């Protein structure tokens, strides 16, 4: 794979009558001739149109299971994976269903309902043929797939998604859906996870075109159907999914990610540490850059200086605030569904230049907050982190692993103001010696009932020893 290679025009030597020797009479290597004969823009587009990417190898090695589909392949990245071929039968079955045909003994095709008008497969193929070049340009790799096979993949995969979304809409409003995907308990949730993975995407304009060509009667728009399908992956209290239908979304992953960004984008966050740094007074010593860029202290350390943690209800997942010593964080549910989803959000932000790294910042924020099991226990006690992973230790290990191999920009972090406020609060506390002494006393002698009892016993013993010494001295001064 060659990414973003910008070729030059044919060299003068190669352009003259197809010569294969240079001016010195030496033979020109074949690869030089082939490379020089490439026309600019025919195969290499500098990545301007890329929206679907391979997950970076370094991230894939840390959380491989979060990025590789389990049961279904959508698009060209995993189309030849033998372990995913089982779902191809379901894809063809859904295509026949969408076309209004039923299969009997795998040979005879009959209309489902003669009274209804169904789309024509030829028209779907023709529409996808017109979008083939644009679709290929959306992928960060070139594929050795001929035109007919690529168009067939677009039609079959796209129609499967469209029909699945429509059936789920019926299923969600308690309409009986007699289909193996919906009657098999584990399959539907696994499909939801697979269809939101970065490497398992079709461009959204492909799905929208197929949806328009197969639409009949009154039904919700594609955006509404998609969001309803993926919403169970990440439970949230605020279920108002504000998205702009006029925006051209890259794919389903981009669409679902956008539903978490509406409020945070309205706040117009600051652009990083430098924009919120206080002006230095003349003669004052500036802080080292490494201190200024520190993300945030752990939950245990912040609690020691008096920072309180509060669950922020009724707000978006990314809407974190710090005010008057209280860090307000919306609840985060951690399970087998949310972790892959969040990691694919981050992978998309790592690859796409136009995707602001909101979820990257959010995961790095939690990675800094959580360093130990105690940190998770405090967040869980305050209703901020809820999980079904078995133990708080598992959650702590997970958070400490989430930030590995992720590139983040402190300068552009949307949580810069909140983190700087927390760090200023922390640093101001330790500037007073009395606070430092009191913190050490609480940590050393009040951290557990046993240390407290030991301290009480030592104080009682000291008082008894003092009283005994005093009585002995008193009897010496005033003998009986």
**DSSP assignment string, 88-117:** HHHHHHHHHHHTTEEEETTTEEEES-TTS-
pLDDT 10s digits, 325-361: 899 999 999 988 889 999 999 999 999 989 999 999 9
Out of 137-141, 224-228, 266-270, 414-418, which region has the weakest mean confidence (pLDDT)? 266-270
Tell me the pairing of strands 101-104 and 108-111: antiparallel
pLDDT score recorded for residue 229: 94
pLDDT score recorded for residue 282: 39
**Euclidean distance between CA atoms 336 and 66, whole angstroms:** 9
For residue 329, give the 3-state DSSP assignment.
Answer: strand
pLDDT score recorded for residue 438: 60
Tell me the pairing of strands 101-104 and 321-323: unpaired
**Structural domain spans, the chain:** 1-46, 57-259, 268-276+290-429, 433-477
**Euclidean distance between CA atoms 221 and 207, whole angstroms:** 12
pLDDT 10s digits, 196-239: 999 999 999 999 999 999 987 788 999 999 999 999 998 776 55
pLDDT score recorded for residue 112: 52
pLDDT band at 176 (very low <50, low <70, confident <90, very high): confident
pLDDT score recorded for residue 1: 41
Q: Which of 323, 302, 269 shows the shortest CA–CA distance to 369?
A: 302
Average pLDDT on 16-26 reads 59
Q: Chain-wide mean pLDDT for the chain?
A: 81
Distance separating the N- and C-terminal Cα atoms of the chain:
104
Burial class of residue 470, CB neighbours in 10 A (0-12, 13-18, 19+): exposed
Share of the chain above pLDDT 70, in %: 77
pLDDT score recorded for residue 6: 39
pLDDT band at 400 (very low <50, low <70, confident <90, very high): confident
Residues 252-284 as b or e (16 or more Cβ within 10 Å = b): bbbbbbbbbbeebeeeebbebbeeeeeeeeeee
> H or E stretch including 386?
strand 385-387
Residues 6+ apart with CB under 8 A from 135: 128, 150, 154, 202, 203, 206
**Euclidean distance between CA atoms 277 and 296, whole angstroms:** 16
């Amino acid at each position: 794979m060659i990414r973003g290679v910008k070729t030059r025009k044919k060299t003068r030597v190669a352009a003259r009558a197809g010569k294969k020797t240079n001016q010195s009479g030496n033979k020109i290597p074949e690869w030089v001739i082939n490379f020089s004969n490439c026309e600019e823009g025919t195969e290499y587009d500098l990545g301007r149109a890329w929206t679907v990417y391979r997950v970076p190898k370094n991230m894939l090695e840390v959380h491989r299971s979060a990025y590789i589909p389990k049961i279904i392949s959508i698009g060209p990245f995993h189309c030849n994976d033998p372990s995913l071929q089982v779902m191809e039968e379901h894809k063809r079955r859904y295509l026949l269903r969408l076309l209004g045909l039923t299969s009997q003994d795998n040979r005879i095709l009959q209309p489902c309902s003669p009274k209804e008008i169904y789309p024509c497969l030829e028209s779907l193929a023709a529409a996808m043929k017109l979008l083939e070049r644009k679709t290929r340009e959306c992928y960060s790799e070139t594929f050795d797939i001929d035109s007919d096979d690529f168009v067939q993949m677009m039609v079959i995969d796209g129609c499967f998604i469209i029909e699945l979304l429509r059936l789920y809409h019926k299923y969600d409003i308690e309409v009986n859906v007699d289909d193996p995907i919906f009657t098999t308990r584990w399959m539907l949730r696994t499909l939801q996870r697979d269809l939101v993975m970065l490497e398992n995407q079709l461009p959204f304009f492909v799905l929208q075109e197929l949806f328009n060509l197969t639409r009949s009667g009154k039904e919700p728009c594609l955006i509404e159907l998609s969001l309803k399908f993926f919403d169970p992956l990440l439970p949230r209290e605020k279920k108002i999914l504000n998205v702009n239908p006029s925006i051209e979304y890259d794919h389903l992953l981009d669409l679902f990610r956008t539903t978490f960004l509406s409020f945070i984008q309205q706040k117009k966050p600051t652009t990083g540490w430098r924009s919120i740094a206080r002006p230095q007074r003349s003669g004052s010593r500036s802080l080292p850059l490494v201190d200024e860029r520190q993300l945030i202290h752990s939950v245990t350390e912040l609690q020691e200086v008096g920072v309180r943690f509060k669950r922020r209800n009724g707000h978006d997942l990314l809407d974190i605030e710090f005010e008057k010593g209280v860090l307000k964080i919306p609840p985060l549910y951690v399970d087998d569904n949310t972790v892959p989803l969040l990691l694919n959000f981050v992978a998309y932000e790592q690859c796409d230049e136009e995707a602001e790294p909101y979820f990257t910042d959010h995961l790095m924020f939690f990675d800094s907050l959580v360093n130990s099991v105690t940190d998770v226990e405090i967040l869980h006690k305050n209703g901020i982190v809820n999980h079904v992973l078995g133990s708080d230790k598992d959650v702590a290990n997970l958070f400490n692993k989430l930030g590995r191999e992720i590139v983040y920009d402190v300068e552009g972090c949307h949580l810069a103001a909140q983190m700087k406020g927390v760090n200023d609060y922390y640093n101001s506390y330790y500037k007073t010696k009395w606070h430092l002494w009191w913190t050490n006393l609480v940590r050393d002698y009040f951290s557990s009932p046993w240390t407290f009892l030991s301290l009480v016993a030592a104080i009682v013993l000291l008082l008894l020893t003092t009283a005994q010494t005093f009585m002995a001295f008193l009897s010496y001064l005033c003998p009986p």
